[in-house]
Amino acid sequence: MPILVDEQTRTFHLKAKDTSYILQIVNGYPVHVYWGQSLREDSNLSNLSVYTHTNLDRYAQEYPQYGSGDFRSPAYQVQLPDGSRITELVYQNYRVYAGKPELKGLPSVYVESDEEAQTLELILSDVYSGLRVLLRYTVFAGFNAITRSAVLINGGRDAIRLLRALSTSVDMEKSDYELLYLAGAWTRETQVERRPLGPGSFKLESRRGMSSHQLNPFLALVSPGADEDQGEVYGFSLVYSGNFTADAEVDSMGSVRVSMGINPFEFAWHLEPGSAFQTPEAVMVYSADGLGAMSRTYHKLYRTRLCRGVHRDLERPILVNNWEATYFDFTADKLEAIAKSGAELGIELFVLDDGWFGKRNDDTTSLGDWVEDRSKLPDGLDELAKRIHCQGLQFGLWVEPEMVSPDSDLYRTHPDWCLHVEGRRRTLARTQLVLDLSRLEVRDYLFDALSRIFSSVPVAYIKWDMNRGLSEIGSAAAPPERQMETAHRYVLGLYELLERLTSAYPHILFESCASGGGRFDPGMLYYMPQTWTSDNTDAVERLKIQYGTSLVYPISTIGAHVSAVPNHQVGRMTPLTTRGDVAMSGNFGYELDLTKFTEEEKELVTAQVTRYKRFRPLVQQGEFYRLKSPFAGNETAWMFVSEDQTEALVCFFRVLAEPNRPQRLLRLKGLNAGYDYVLEESGEAYGGDRLMHRGLTLPPLQGDFTSRIFYLKAYINQ
């Protein structure tokens, strides 16, 4: 893990687990030299970077500037008091220290001991303006990962204006890569897209105030022909929940610059003398062994060193959510009946969704009024929770604190508390407005209102929803020169509120939601260790959604439920068995009326719940391997392997039946070639080498939308 510094050549060699990242100071500029498989510590690195010219447009700068000869996308841009935008950061010094610092006000990957990581800090300065920048790089002993962020400090005498402040910029010397990213829409999140790079710039971004359903804050450069198991992959993931940009720009010389950070669109930051601006963190992962190895690095890093709290390593409960069972129309008796049915089936948590507060009989009213509706719940939430507990289930609750309804007591009292621009129309979406979380008094109100519930009701779980993007992004509390800070200050305010709540109520399991996957990003996982992946619960659509999400995010963060058929989003009829098998590849639950099950369905669901409880540690903590892609054909398969390789759970799905289909073999991954594995379903034993190189024989399946799950247990001959 050491960070090696050659003072003579001013070369910095950052060594993560099996990865080297090298940069060098050339003519005062930090330039990128190498990123890839680990190089020996005694390798001669003096001639890796050769710059015989002074044309900055050819330099592979680590934090490129605007206006002094580099015509590609800059990493930062500053407006000075005289209106000019020209700065030139020059290397001054460096620091190397053990461990990893926290990012002030922002989520980030962390370490539990200083031995886990080392950090390099490059100090750059612009003599003319007094601007200083600290470039931070952290390398990890146990991961092929490097984190990057920047701190911009105004060391001058006058205020300056940041127009652009990205987290990372990496220049690769060639561009014969393909670009892989996750795109989609509401109910169609994280669809895997892949395309070759070419001259020009390819941009991924969100301007919605959140990371968005449309594009996830992730991209990867992959070598041509790279797949799950072979080829080079360079992954970039941003730990941020607001407007972001991720660019891949190929220049005329065939190199590519990848940059990532806060979207500069509609962003500016007024930086007073002596003050600093911290960028979010970018997590960069290198894999020499394809996409699967990249994903498993992100999975373990994010599961164990991004997610926090007592629930990080605990098994997540099997839940039933009443939303698709009742929507807004429920009584305490109806909710208790669902909980009672759930208890009989072995379910562990009942979640009361939207409609329990204010006068909330539809989605036009009461957001912001976080007091139970006594006309629906005459004895209150506390009494309902006790009734749920008497059935043997924990009690959970849905909230949407970031929003306010115009028809609410809160809005009538504080109409200026929403994001708005005076004199302009206030755009409604889902008949609601967005509260201005950049304001402390708004956050204090929400903390107090939610605390009254969390302190008086035995709540074990909170589903935190957010059902619209940000519009009219202005704050009544901000002066004119700070209005373009509002979108970022909103995110900072959200993080501050979540830090207060999760610290005050560590026993509560928080799940993030934004109409499904509209804010499924690493930033939210720092506060809430799981996310509702999509409002689309159709088993067939979920194959693609969960497969795509798994490229970056751990299975323990993926919420997946069984819902009723015909499916409420697409109208498809799928077997209960298949719906359960898909949902068991995540945090398992049900979102339907359990009281309407037939006896046959009750038996099947009881078996599903029992099976998931048995394999829950393997699913939530095991290594995940993708075997067959739903984007490539009619079949999908993936598997979970225990860390010691003694257990494996294999999941296979076929969408449509095929006539006269030959028998197929499914090649497995991640097993120990020297172990023998017993297939529980048949009692037959197979060598790990055979299962990986020849495959597991798939049984014939009848009908559309079918699935099978196989369990393998190793026995080791001593």
Residues pairing with 399 in the sheet: 464
Q: How many CB atoms lie within 10 A of CB 703?
A: 10
Q: What long-range pairs does 377-384 form, CB within 8 A, spacing at least 24?
A: 377/332, 378/332, 379/332, 381/356, 381/453, 381/456, 381/457, 382/456, 382/457, 382/458, 383/332, 384/332, 384/335, 384/336, 384/352
Is 373 assigned a catalytic role?
Answer: no
CA–CA separation, 530 vs 532, rounded Å?
7
Closest CA to 104 of 280, 246, 267, 331: 280
DSSP state of 429: B
Please, which residues have CB within 8 angstroms of residue 618's CB and are 6 or more apart in sequence?
A: 640, 642, 647, 648, 649
- Active-site residue, from 70, 247, 535, 676: 535
Structural element, H or E, at residue 14: strand 11-15
CA–CA separation, 569 vs 539, rounded Å?
11
CA–CA separation, 189 vs 546, rounded Å?
9
CA–CA separation, 637 vs 558, rounded Å?
17
- Active-site residue, from 436, 465, 581, 676: 465
* Amino acid (1-letter code) at residue 682: S
Structural element, H or E, at residue 380: helix 380-390
Distances (CA, A) of 163 to 85, 124, 271, 484, 565: 9, 18, 11, 10, 50
Residue 246 · residue 263 · CB < 8 Å = no
* Amino acid (1-letter code) at residue 302: Y
Q: At what angle do helices 576-583 and 539-549 cross, to 10 degrees?
A: 10
Is 362 assigned a catalytic role?
Answer: no
Structural element, H or E, at residue 1: none
CA–CA separation, 229 vs 641, rounded Å?
16
Beta strands in 302-375 (DSSP E): 319-321, 349-352
Structural element, H or E, at residue 223: none
* Amino acid (1-letter code) at residue 529: P
Residue 405 · residue 411 · CB < 8 Å = yes
Residue 356 · residue 422 · CB < 8 Å = no
One-letter-per-residue 3-state SS of 569-638: CCCCCCCHHHHHHHHCCCEEEEECCHHHCCHHHHHHHHHHHHHHHHHHHHHHHCEEEEEECCCCCCEEEE
Catalytic residues: 465, 535
